[in-house]
Homo-oligomer: A and B are copies of this chain.
Amino acid sequence: MRFAARMSGVQPSAIRELLRLGDDPTITSFGGGYPDPATFPVTPLAAAYEEVLATSGRTALQYTATVGLPRLREQVAARLSADGSPTGADDILILQGAQQGLDFVAKLLIDPGDLIITANPTFLGALIAFNPYQPTYLGIDGDEHGLDTEALEAVLLGGTHPRFVYVVPDFANPTGTTMSLPRRQHLLALAQEFDFLVLEDTPYRALRFEGRDVPTLRSLDTAGRVIHLGSFSKILAPGLRLGWAAASPELLEPLGLLKLAADTQTATLSMSVTAHLLQEFDLEAHIETIRHGYGRKRDLMVKTMRDAFPTSVQVSEPEGGLFTWVTFPRGFDAADFMARVALPQAKVAYVPGATFFPVHQEANHARFSYSGVADEQMVDAVTRLGELLRAELGG
């Protein structure tokens, strides 16, 4: 059967097969990027569903505006305003999760062959969303301060012209690193000078458990060059599928047309209930609790890894989010080790890092999530893995 040319970039992902291992109860999986379900506000949500269905059920079950429920747009705008970028309800498009924003931005901007620049490595889900639009990619290396904007500038000066640069500035997936303020400012200056847009994806931004917030790219942008994506998945629950885009009107209006084309609107009931919840429930206190929990989990995982793993293995210590990024010595293949040793002998899964690189895949990394495994099980699994790594690598 002949498919459209774009489908050549839409292939089953090895990582998805791997993540199915998370369903095997004998495997301890650090692979999923799932938030800890113990953090979901189940009882307040149940009360909100009851209240909304009792008082305005018929409206909440009917079609509504494609751009989203006005009250929820206002509430999201208020949160962005409180986070440093004055935003009105009209600047917000409610999405079926931030993932949908990744799809729409590429659909809006990318003709086949157009260039997207990302951090190297970057969020796999973004590459999956962008691929059907047949972009070319360039990955820019980073360090503990995020994407190296000097390296980006050098590339731009060489004549490379991206349609947009995609970044997860806060506690990036997969590396856990946060872009520094000077780099954010530099990125925006480059966007203006070299005429490209910046796609800022912030699913983990509220989950800082250490250090101080760095201003969002959106809050630093004076030229309307930032499309900002956010999500309720990690601060309420992913099963609601609620996210948003914030952008200038000339970008938001065509994104809204793509929303109409793609799925008419996000579920009215999910939006109504979330709007009700945000009014009745102390979301900031809830986020504070989540942060403390993940901070404790990160401490435990990083400490256990540093004790158990050989000294040749580097473990990142993110200030927020869900992930630590582990770098093995050059020549080590994390995927091969997992299939050959970690899974069969330690019953431990993680995500081999190669999959997160848009162009040249580096085999000697792995992403571990500390959000989803109970403390004792985490310590045991990391310790077992450490023994096998010492046997493999020495040290």
Contact = CB atoms under 8 A, between A and B. Distances in A.
A346 interface: no
Interface string A264-295: 11111110100000000000000000000000
A57 interface: yes
Given A50-B49, A58-B38, A63-B34, A241 B267 contact: yes
Given A107-B132, A129-B261, A251-B1, A61 B10 contact: no
Contact of A57 (B40, B63, B261): B40
**Protomer copies:** 2
Contact of A239 (B60, B107, B125): B60
A3 B254 contact: yes
A58 B46 contact: no
Interface string A108-132: 1111001000000000010011011
A238 interface: yes
Contact of A241 (B6, B100, B110, B266): B266
A250 interface: yes
A251 B4 CA distance: 12
A37 B128 CA distance: 38
A62 B257 contact: no
B49 A61 contact: no
Contacts of A133: 4
A37 B53 CA distance: 13
A155 interface: no
Interface in A1-49: 1, 3-7, 10-12, 16, 32, 34-35, 37-38, 40, 42, 45-46, 49
Interface of A: 1, 3-7, 10-12, 16, 32, 34-35, 37-38, 40, 42, 45-46, 49-50, 53-54, 57-64, 95-97, 99-100, 103, 107-111, 114, 125, 128-129, 131-133, 237-241, 250-251, 253-254, 257-258, 260-270, 272
Top-5 shortest CB links A-B? A239-B268, A42-B57, A61-B237, A37-B58, A61-B239
